[in-house]
Structure 1
């Protein structure tokens, strides 16, 4: 895909390709999340005992249904919402995306504390009014504590400075979809937003690296090239060693024979940011297709939904929505919401000036994505 820069216009084929990759990334991540949701806390031995020698081969019930998503997809959706609203709010002369993302994550936090949406708060926008999102799906402690008050964590003064849980990585794929941004800015924005909940350098840098890899894929790189570019960026950052080593271990595992659960488990369990990134990257690298990669990513004793989500984000961004297994798409919880959000994001990135400007804007668009940070 040729990416327009500056004031260049998007061609129709480029818009279609970009929308397919956005849909693929968001739906792919959600499918991986849902495949792993029912076995998130099980050992590999338990998975094999319960589901047979091949482990999980389809959705298994979680949270009362098949195809249920977890907090990984919930927070990813609010990342998308925050990025759209940051671009809309730029018309006001206010341009500080971390503030808009913090407001979006705080809206997610409300879904974990309230019974349902407050219809009086029009400034919350449409996503926060989706009643089905008001459900706790094993949210991470650092995400909840980091967003539990109004102070926004920053790189200089992060929330939970000792935490490097995978809650940063599993929500950061949408930063990579900012296809018109320079790679360094994509990396930095993901880092700054990770600091709002997880302040350990590895927690922040793994999020930045993941966003950078997705960004490379959407811009047309193959996965290995995108990883190499992310490694170059990482090398300039203090405290990068754990994240760099995790990515290099994923690359090294590719050369260790046929993909198998034991190789996945050699990379860790996925509870920490660098391990979730490493496992997701490895499974995407060796994937024969979307189905093979996602099942490899969830059949291990660890944080199966997060590693499945990371792998799905990567494969979806690489191959687009047509690579997604149709039966899994059809049964996925929240599919309609995810598709609407993906298409809105693609439209904002490619046709934003036609939707809003300092002088004239679509009232429908501003109702969906208010300019306030409420």
Structure 2
């Protein structure tokens, strides 16, 4: 990358991760409310953090798992110093660490990397049963149950896979788009076994990848659709994306139109709602309009908000994010630290570990497994 391009990429890494957290925290409190009750309280749509079961600005399991995806990708890169190759299976170990945060009250003193030392991540924020069950089964390694590196044996296409894989799309340009698509699909498949649960995840990562490379939203969706068609079972996701594009071009924005795309509880619907909102409001100054549209409906508002925030953050970079939400979202320092560490690893990793030996402060922070 040139220096200017690298600066733009870094801003998009920060924008994608922080934008996803903002969308998640915005939609979380109304996840189980219907659109009519949301609009009764917020006639212009939900545009500010409100308290639900937790304080206003609180993130959910969507952002928690996304942060562990970031950590897993950094650690996958670190391990290449040992000649082991970059493998997506390292990300599954990151999800296993997330599982620890859901089962333990806090750090237990046997810290594996720095992220497990963050007490605030040990809060349970309505984690998906599919994620919990699949990761627990893999950990047990029982007969006929998926083990590390294997795909889940269930038939779930819930949105718990697609809502966490945006970081794959942030990888720099020497990772091909097709590899990013397939790897994100594989990472989703550690918990969600249905083809649509995987392919919708691959499509999101491909969209993020194209946006980081300078593509428009429309062109990024076209690239993702082309990659989708190479995979068996792509029809549900391809159809959902096509319908999102159609509605963005022909229907008035609002909850009625959003809900024509579904509730967002399953992978292709969550992706389609987020894409639809981003297409309707694609400009930097419309960031909050898009987020409000993506969460004001009778469905899985935190996941659709998170994915929409990922997409627009990758498109516009961090400076387009609504400052009043950036200021108060839970975990901002950690989110930005991970974003900056991600950018450091994938632009100057050899200066952090490779050229200076296998045992450095960086490899203590991010062990290569």
Separation of aligned partners in 1, 2:257 and 2:147: 36
Residue equivalent to 2:165? 172
CA gap of 1:177–1:79, structure 2 versus 1, over 3 A, is same
Q: State which of 99, 103, 110 in structure 1 corresponds to 2:100.
A: 110
Give the match for residue 298 of structure 1: 295
Aligned to 1:23: 14
**Aligned residue for 2:334?**
337
Kept in 2: contact 1:112–1:135 (CA 8 A): yes
The corresponding residue for 1:7 is none
The within-5 A match list for 1:255-294 is 255-287=249-281, 288=283, 289-294=286-291
- Displacement of 1:157 in angstroms is 5.6
- Matches for 1:97-246 after TM superposition, within 5 Å: 97-121=87-111, 124-148=112-136, 149-150=138-139, 151=141, 153=146, 158-180=151-173, 181-246=175-240
Correspondence 1:72 to 2:62 = yes
Q: Does 1:35 align with 2:23?
A: no
Query: C-alpha displacement at 1:322, in angstroms?
Result: 0.3
Correspondent of 2:51 among 61, 80, 86: 61
More helix per residue: 2
3-state secondary structure, aligned to 2:46: coil
**3-state SS of paired residue (1:61):** coil
Of the structure 1 ranges 94-103 and 223-232, higher mean CA displacement relative to structure 2 is found in 94-103
Question: If the length of structure 1 is used for normalisation, what is the TM-score?
Answer: 0.93
Deviation at 1:120, TM superposition (A): 2.5
* Higher alpha-carbon deviation: 288-297 or 143-152: 143-152
- Provide the alpha-carbon RMSD of the alignment: 1.7
TM-score, normalised by the number of residues in structure 2: 0.94
Mapped pair 1:307 → 2:298: no
Mapped partners of 1:234, 1:75: distance in 2:
24
1:155, 1:274 → 2: CA distance? 26
Whether the aligned pair in 1 keeps the contact of 2:89 and 2:148 (CA below 8 Å) is no
The gaps in structure 2 that reach 5 residues or longer are none
Q: CA deviation digits over 1:11-56, x for unaligned, max 9?
A: 332221111000000000000000001000111112123x232232
CA distance in 2, matches of 1:156, 1:116: 27
Secondary structure of the structure 2 residue equivalent to 1:97: coil
Distance 1:126 1:187 in 2: 28
**Within 2, Cα distance between the matches of 1:107 and 1:326?**
31
| CA–CA distance in structure 1, aligned partners of residues 125 and 10 of structure 2 | 28
Q: Which residue of 2 aligns with 1:8?
A: none
Q: Which stretch has the larger CA shift, 58-67 or 345-354? A: 58-67
Superposed displacement of residue 57, structure 1: 2.2
Say if 1:284 and 1:153 are closer, same or farther in 2 by CA, change over 3 A: farther
